[in-house]
Chains A and B, each alone.
Chain A
Amino acid sequence: MARRSGSVFTGCGTVFLKELADHLGSGRMRILEWLVLLTGIGAVYTAIQDLKTTTSQDPFLFLRLFTNAHDPLPSFMAVLGFLIPLVAIGLGFDAVNGEFNRRTMSRILAQPVYRDALLMGKFFAGLATLAVALVSLWLLIIGLGLIMLGVPPSGEEVMRGGAFLVVSLAYGGLWLALAMLCSVIFRAPATSALSALGLWLLMSVLWPLLSRFLTEAIFPTTQLTLLTGPSYNQIVFQQMLARLSPNTLFAESLLGILDPSTRALGPVFMTQLEGAVMGNPLPLGQSLLLIWPQVTGLIAGVIVMFVAAYIVFQRQEVRA
């Protein structure tokens, strides 16, 4: 095999800057930003109504902003679970096929850069855009909290908030890479957007139901299980299935990082709880250890999706 000469990163920065400027200036981004902003503020606002009554007792008051749900609105955490994929898909669904449709692809690839630079530049620009949106949203929530609650966040809360940003970014990156994969596979942007959104619906709405049905098919309900409840194996199996969805991984990670009293994400035996003080918060390090597998899974998902997009893109013919 002949080795290519020159760096694959040549031009990556140029593509990154151009795409970032495009994203931040595009009308699509405006709409998505407003969507994130309004829902975020709505969720936080209602959480604050609840929290005002409990200010003095809670050591992690600020984190409650993210996790408190107030009927009929879901918690901010849950809203993000829906919105981040939407924003990410919005940023990525026409990344590659858009270049083909504008007929700019062959012109760009005739410049002394590898295709790698184009794909990577676009991916990192999307990720940076997501990061900008998330950080500003996060700061907005802290600001709202400061004004409406009148107490500053503790150092640990800020650090947990930082971890929350990283996890959200990994989750967004996964959907961004998936949307880009769709944009490489499908030439029509509408098809690409629809298939990415379809997968998102499957993962966030249908997969939890499906994983339960599949588990029941494998572990059928018997007289015994009706009495004793589901077996340990059944619970573990169902959880494993559910964790194939990035939404589950994201929800579990956020639960672990934003609710310090979370001690385990899987089934726990009574014997393991012996001596534990229920509801007592875990230190940050322990919480991070708890969600480490989930975060690893998310990052692995990002890499798998990106590599898939990369391989398909490299094999694609330049001519339409």
Chain B
Amino acid sequence: MSELDRNADVVVARGLTKRYAGVAAVDGIDLTVRRGEIFGLLGPNGAGKTTTILMLLGLTESNGGTIQVAGADPMRDPLEVKRHVGYLPDAVGFYDNLTARRNLRYTARLSGLSRDEAETRISDALARVRLADVADNQVATYSRGMRQRLGLAEVMMKRAELAILDEPTSGLDPQATFELLDMIRGLKADNIAVLISSHLLDRVQAVCDRVALFSHGKVVLEGTVGELARQVLGGGYAVEIEATGPNLPTLLAGIPGVQRVTDSGDGKFQLVAARDIRAELGKAIIGAGGSLMRLDHIEPSLDTIYRHYFEGDHGAA
């Protein structure tokens, strides 16, 4: 790793371990998050995601391993780390009796911003999360989605190098989720590294550059969604077709490049091929006198990867 790459890494964790009463909640994980990327920590509840996040923030002491967050060690220099990291906790809470602006003002003062600087940043952040109109209402009147956005505004206000978002979309309706993810992309545009933890895979897939799959305190898979798909699903180009015609399964299996054909009934077939063979497939079916209703390339979804992984032998580990 060259010196340049090292500087570009916002989080570097090696062999990170945390035990609660002798049981390892996080068991020797390695993590690297680069500047300006969105990194997803995925896994079922209790897999160690939140514990990992708390260790990155220096809010929980690790039992082993080394961490560097924004160039500092959260155990030795927690204030320096917290100055450069924004955190949106799972089910974030605010002081209900205060307005949104006052809530942010409090954390701004705590993070050491001067009064004037804080005011401009607060107004700016509230506008970005589209809460400017209701900024002077009590937070008690806010919906869950608005609270979540307010939490994101707090992260933006801090102008952190790293934003850690713990389950940011849980409990939100689809519209609110969509808006929130859009704002998270906005963070990336500011060259802020974003670490998202979630068990809602399909939503996270939409924004993450790279993901790490957690299971029982270990990172079992890491990489881009495409890489994971190749690892777990055995690579290949997946196609779904809906067609009728004589002897279709044999015909499809005979096309050069096709590795596997699954008949899912009702005239639907799933194929795995070495490369994009959609054109050949169409020609072959029509040429054989069949009729082609649908021909789709299936994007490997995290959901599929995830289920495949945990259904396989790995899941028993």
Contacts and interface: CB of A to CB of B under 8 A. Distances in A.
Interface of A: 2-6, 10-11, 14-15, 18, 22, 102-104, 106-114, 317-319
A103 B171 CA distance: 16
Given A15-B110, A107-B154, A2 B82 contact: no
Given A107-B87, A107-B107, A112-B111, A4 B93 contact: no
B82 A111 contact: yes
Given A4-B78, A15-B110, A319-B50, A110 B85 contact: yes
Interface in B1-59: 50-51, 54, 57, 59
Given A10-B112, A14-B109, A112-B82, A103 B92 contact: yes
B228 to A, nearest CB: 28
B92 A319 contact: no
Given A104-B95, A107-B154, A318-B59, A6 B79 contact: yes
B107 to A, nearest CB: 6
Contact of A11 (B75, B89, B92, B110): B110
Given A107-B107, A112-B82, 17 more contacts: A2-B75, A10-B112, A11-B110, A11-B112, A103-B92, A106-B87, A110-B57, A110-B86, A110-B87, A111-B82, A111-B110, A111-B111, A112-B80, A113-B110, A114-B78, A318-B54, A319-B54
A3 B77 CA distance: 9
B75 A112 contact: no
Nearest to A113: B110
Contact of A107 (B54, B78, B93): B93
B227 interface: no
Nearest to A13: B109
B87 A102 contact: no
Counting from the closest, the 9 A-B pairs by CB-CB distance are A103-B93, A110-B87, A6-B79, A111-B110, A112-B82, A106-B89, A14-B109, A112-B79, A112-B83
A110 B107 CA distance: 9
Contact of A103 (B78, B89, B106, B110): B89
Interface residue tally on B, bucketed by range: 20 to 34
Interface string B94-114: 111100000000110111100
Nearest to B112: A112
B110 A112 contact: yes
Contacts of A18: 106
A5 to B, nearest CB: 5
Interface of B: 50-51, 54, 57, 59-60, 75-80, 82-83, 85-89, 91-97, 106-107, 109-112, 151, 154
A contact face: mostly helix, strand, loop, or mixed: loop
A114 B80 CA distance: 11
8 contacts: A6-B79, A11-B110, A11-B112, A14-B106, A104-B94, A106-B59, A110-B57, A114-B78
B94 A6 contact: no
A114 B79 contact: yes
Given A5-B79, A6-B77, A112-B83, A103 B111 contact: no
Nearest to A25: B97
A111 B54 contact: no
Contacts of A107: 87-89, 92-94, 107, 151, 154
A247 B57 CA distance: 43
Nearest to A105: B93
Nearest to A106: B89
A102 B60 contact: no
Contacts of B151: 107
Nearest to A104: B93
A10 B77 CA distance: 14
B172 to A, nearest CB: 16
B184 to A, nearest CB: 17
Nearest to A3: B76
A10 B79 contact: yes
Query: In this complex, which of A11, A109, A318 has the most chain B Cβ atoms within 10 angstroms of its Cβ?
Result: A109
B93 A102 contact: yes
A233 B299 CA distance: 89
Nearest to B96: A102
Contacts of A14: 106, 109-110
A33 B79 CA distance: 38
A87 to B, nearest CB: 20
Contact of A108 (B76, B96, B97, B110): B110
